[in-house]
Amino acid sequence: MKKHLIHSVAIGAVLCAATPALAQTRDDPAATVDAIVVTGIRRANVKAIDSKLKASGIVDVVGSNEVQALPDLTIVEALRRVPGLSVLPATDNEHPRDEAATPVIRGLGPAYNNVTIDGSPIASPGTPNGNLGSIGRGVRLDILPSSMISEMAVTKTFTADLDPNAVGGAIDLRTRSAFAGGGKPFFTFEIAGGGANDQGQPRKQSPIGGRVQTTGSFTFGPDGRYGLTASANYQKLDTFTETHMTTDTVHAGFYNDAGVLQSGENLGNGFAVPQQDKYWYVQDRRARYGLTLKGEANFTDTLYGFVTGGLYRFQDTMERNEIILDSNQRGTVLNQTATSGQYAKGDVEVGFEHANIITNTQLIQAGLDWKIGDDQVLTARGSISRATYREPMTMIKYITNAAYGAPGTSTGASVVPTAAYAFTYDTSRFNQRFNMNPAAFYDLSAYKAFYYRPDYKRSASDNIYSGRIDWRKNQDRDARGWGFAAGVSYVQDTPEYNVYRVEYGPNTSATPFTLATAAGPAGAPLRYSDGLFLLTIDPVKAAAQWEAARAAGGLNRTDQSNFSNQDNFEHRERTLGAYGIVAYATDKLKAQFGLHEDSTRQDTTGRARVANVWTRLPTQSSYDFLLPSGLVTYDITPTIDLRFGASQTIGRPSYDSYAARTAINFTQTSDKGNPNATGVSVTVGNPDIKPRLSTNLDLAFDWRLSNRYGGLVSVAVFNKDIKDEIFNTASQGFTYDGVTYVNAVVSRPVNASKASVRGVEANLIVNSLEWIHPWLKDVGVSGNWSQLDGELKVLRSSGVTRTLDRLTGQPDQTRNATIFYSHAGLELRAAYNHQGKALRSITPDIAWQDLYWAPCDQVDVQATYEVRPGLTVYGQASNLTHTRMTSLYGPYKNLLKDTYSVPTVFWLGVRFTPRF
């Protein structure tokens, strides 16, 4: 990795040295060719460059025009174009991964990064995590519409006036001002239809989706002192994702030459055998709605105020169809070779889930800017935001053979493998194959009722109240001499999480009922099963079966009290911040030094079973940090600058980490009490968890190209040393209620002894290639490349340290390349994005069970044509390569954990933007 970094720095240096012809200043007599026409994509590039260079630190900017120029439907998708950024989907094993949910800045995920709207924090329920039974810290950006913003600024260097919870960086979503463009009226309206190539399996879906969005602003009143901006959006699209995987935990078994299962890090004969062959078809109908209103006023020449309100709703109606081929008796494998073997017994599970995931976010912000004299400004900001997450669901499962409990007990059904479902397996290819008898597989009458969960819901909420006052003296960009700034802030954050489940299983008095009278549509292929196709459940017929059995007394209600209590928590966090900055500026040099005091107090209430009664367990914690920061910018020439930053920042732990709790989850209720059960997961809280503390160094070089080329060359290097890094340890084996579950995977947040990440980012924008040949005057390119090198030290349960070569979520590199053509109203654009291999999760005691995201590449294209002034038609296509999201594990990180299809999505639309 360090060699890669050296190569990257060298490439950056060569890039800078190779472009002197591009970097002539505006006054250079050699630059006499007419400047390029700045419209459309080029205008977006120029605006982003202006914002980047005007910022005091190391900042990258994505404008609203840039978002429109590619089929990035959400804010998080647009952010993957930024140097040093990558994106991740939901990382649990329950939710689909065909859409990105959170950004990763310089290899650091959402928990490390701060997100604001116009500088104020926004509530978020986080990215759902069904594995851990909770929610994580970090704003989920896929639920916010791109139409609400004028630009996104990604700040990679900390200054004392920012929230220090920004080890990776800070993302500020800036809304449009009615006073932009001199206060001229602005209006844009867009309508589009679209569809996905992965659509309509196994059940019919709407083939055409729709998108409508509009933004408008105007000023009014005496001298145009008042302004109003409104933005609204709606989008709906149906897709499916097809998935192939093994088990959620442990993933594979290793056997000795006698075919006996080994444990821990013992790899036996070295031949990995996947524990399951699991298939999903997940159908989604996603709808997004948003409304943003912003009122502004220049009350006097020295007093400005604004109020912003926003309502955003994301709804995903999801249906998951599941097939699992499993031996369920993995202790012995027969006739094993390097790529094959046989199990004497097995079973097949057919499952269905219907979930209606709804996230609502509301916010209101207000602010005043008071100019005191010529060089002083006093500002005040206040905000209230609330986010809620609701996921009611119904789950039904049938299995090829099961044993039932006696009536009147809380005993559910248990799995009974049979010889009729014995199978051989084939691991000669990347995707494993379990070869099962088709006649047995398609015998629907053999699939017995297993469980019914008619009332299952997760819910989360987050409320944030914030206020701050800032004073600045002589801090404008053009200021010279000494400057000062100071401020205080207060933020109260109150997230909570709840889960509840009702489950029934048949008892021995039930009249037998099977999948034969509750089957749904079949025919979707199981891609890696040598010809088998998906079996599905008709939820209406199945529910009628189960409800009839319940009315006849044929069902037992299983004990879900543990499940419905163990993950619930409430958290209250109060943070008081104060800072001071001293700055000095000359014509060429700008420097500032600051200190930020962060004082945080927390109360967390979890649940624990005390004397067999679920009891609320409150805990308290606090921490204080005094964090220094320094930033120096030196203008070498009018077009070349050098920037250096040094700072300390923190990374607050996930909310639920503080809860005193022990939560154990079983794949099947009947697994409780079975010491050899698989798929058992345990989550343990840690009230003593500490925030991360990162020491950051940044150096950046920016070279603005002349008007002839209209672009930028920039190179940045950075280093972050992180103390008390937080990760979820995963150990195997857990004793609960007197039973030791040998396959249970125990997850607990802890502070690692050390972590670090360093990297180099190179960025190039050239708005015209005319300097190569006159025929290329209308062609431009942009690209960026980031190389990251991380290190994470984790403790095994034995106390021995294990070192990994990256942080959780960190890719080894990211690359973006774009080529565009713009002439006479026609714009064509193609973009390529690459995300390197990234660490997904860690099992400290068993290295081969660590999970990694496989490298992935994506190509997107767009064409627009201005039919007449202000009226544009466009077409977009995302993920033309139909790239999948794949996870890997194993001693050589080359075995399949899971692979999710990601559809190619097409849009055709019209955009109307009249010129006033």
For residue range 475-533, what is the model confidence (pLDDT) as tens digits?
A: 888 889 999 999 999 999 999 999 999 999 999 999 999 999 999 998 899 999 888 99
Cα dist from 807 to 184, 653, 684, whole Å: 48, 15, 21
Q: What is the pLDDT of residues 631-670, one digit of tens each?
A: 999 999 999 999 999 999 998 888 877 776 666 677 666 6
Task: Give the list of residues 6+ apart from residue 69 with CB closer than 8 angstroms, or none.
Answer: 40, 41, 44, 820, 827, 829, 862, 864
pLDDT of residue 36: 43
pLDDT given at position 661: 67
Confidence check: pLDDT of 35 > 60:
no
Cα–Cα nearest to 814, from 110, 86, 61, 75: 86
CA distance 288 to 142: 10
407, 332 Cβ separation under 8 angstroms? no
Do you find a cis peptide bond into 687, omega within 30 degrees of 0?
Answer: no
Residues constituting the chain? 916
* pLDDT tens-place string over residues 447-482: 999 999 999 999 999 999 999 999 999 988 888 999
The predicted structure's pLDDT at residue 730: 61
Which value, in Å, is the radius of gyration of the alpha carbons in the chain? 29
- Is it the case that residue 12 has pLDDT exceeding 50? no
pLDDT reading at 183 higher than 70? yes
**How far apart are the two ends of the chain, measured CA to CA in Å?**
54
Q: Name every residue whose Cβ is closer than 8 Å to that of residue 892 and which is 6 or more positions away in sequence.
A: none
Rounded CA-CA distance 165/627 in Å is 11
What is the DSSP code string of 741-768?
EEEEEEEEEEE-SEEEEEEEEEEEEES-
In degrees and rounded to multiples of 5, residue 110 shows phi and psi of -60, -30
The upper half-sphere exposure of residue 11, i.e. CA atoms within 13 Å in the direction of its Cβ, equals 15
CA distance 345 to 329: 7
- Residue 19's pLDDT band, with cuts at 50, 70 and 90, is very low
* Whole-number pLDDT of residue 543: 97
For residues 701 and 766, is the Cβ–Cβ distance under 8 A? no
What pLDDT band is residue 66 in, cutting at 50, 70 and 90? Answer: low
pLDDT of 94: 76
Integer Cα distance of 608 and 103 in angstroms = 34
Asked whether the beta carbons of 162 and 133 are under 8 A apart, the reply is no
Going by pLDDT thresholds of 50, 70 and 90, the confidence category of residue 236 is very high
Cβ partners under 8 Å of residue 697, min gap 6: 645, 646, 718, 719, 720
What number is the average pLDDT over the span 367-396? 95
Q: Is 817:783 a contact under the CB 8 Å cutoff?
A: yes
3 state DSSP class of 108: strand
Residue entry with tokens 């994106």:
87
Distance CA 42, CA 772 (A): 18
Does residue 339 surpass a pLDDT of 80? yes
Query: Whole-angstrom Cα distance, residue 725 to residue 751?
Result: 5
Strands 169-174 and 113-117: parallel
- Helical segments of 69-197, H only: 75-79
Share of the chain above pLDDT 90, in %: 63
pLDDT at 1 over 60: no
pLDDT score for 616: 86
Report the alpha-carbon distance of residue 164 to residue 649 in Å, rounded. 5
**Is the peptide bond preceding residue 207 cis, with omega within 30 degrees of 0?**
no
How far is it, in rounded angstroms, from Cα 902 to Cα 435?
26
| The pLDDT of residue 80 | 76
Query: pLDDT band at residue 716, thresholds of 50, 70 and 90?
Result: very high
Confidence at 5, pLDDT banded by 50, 70, 90: very low
CA 227 to mean position of chain CA atoms: 35
Which pair of tokens denotes residue 583? 């700055």
- Which tokens sit at 366? 């207000």
Give the three-state DSSP class for 193: strand
Contacts of 549 (CB under 8 A, 6+ apart): 449, 506, 510, 511, 513, 555
3-state secondary structure of 901: coil
Return the higher-pLDDT residue of 1 and 458: 458
**Residue in the block written with tokens 């009615």:** 178
Q: Which single residue is written with the structure tokens 């013992």?
A: 266
pLDDT at 400 over 70: yes
How distant, in Å, are the alpha carbons of 339, 433, 796, 850 from that of 889? 17, 17, 18, 6
What is the average per-residue pLDDT within 698-712?
A: 88
Question: At a CB cut-off of 8 Å and minimum separation 6, what does 775 contact?
Answer: none
Q: Specify the range with the lowest mean pLDDT, choosing from 121-130, 782-791, 792-801.
A: 121-130
| Mean pLDDT, rounded, of the chain | 87
pTM of the complete model: 0.88
Reported as a single tens digit per residue, the pLDDT across 304-336 is 999 999 999 999 999 999 999 999 888 899 999
pLDDT digits (tens, 9 = 90+) for 341-358: 999 999 999 999 999 999
> Do 407 and 509 touch, CB atoms closer than 8 A?
yes
Among 49-63, 232-246, 601-615, 704-718, the range with the most confident prediction by mean pLDDT is 232-246
State how far the Cα of 391 lies from the Cα of 347, in Å rounded to an integer.
30
DSSP readout, 461-528?
Answer: EEEEEEEEEEEEES-STT--EEEEEEEEEEEEEEEEEEEEEEEEEEBTTSPP-BGGGTB-----B-TT
Q: What is the pLDDT of residue 523?
A: 85
Selection from 36-40, 518-522, 614-618 with the highest mean pLDDT: 518-522
pLDDT grade for 23, boundaries at 50, 70 and 90: very low
User: Which residue has tokens 């396959």?
Assistant: 743
> 573-590: per-residue pLDDT in tens?
999 999 999 999 999 999
Provide mean pLDDT across the span 784-810.
88
Could you give the CA distance from residue 385 to residue 850 in angstroms, rounded to a whole number? 37
pLDDT surpassing 70 at residue 171: yes
Q: Please write down the HEC assignment for all residues of 262-299.
A: CCCCCCCCCCEEECEEEEEEEEEEEEEEEEEEEEEEEC
pLDDT, position 256: 95
**Structure token digits, residue 880:** 């033309």
pLDDT average, residue stretch 800-809? 89
Better-scored residue on pLDDT, 40 or 56: 56
pLDDT over 70 (residue 165): yes
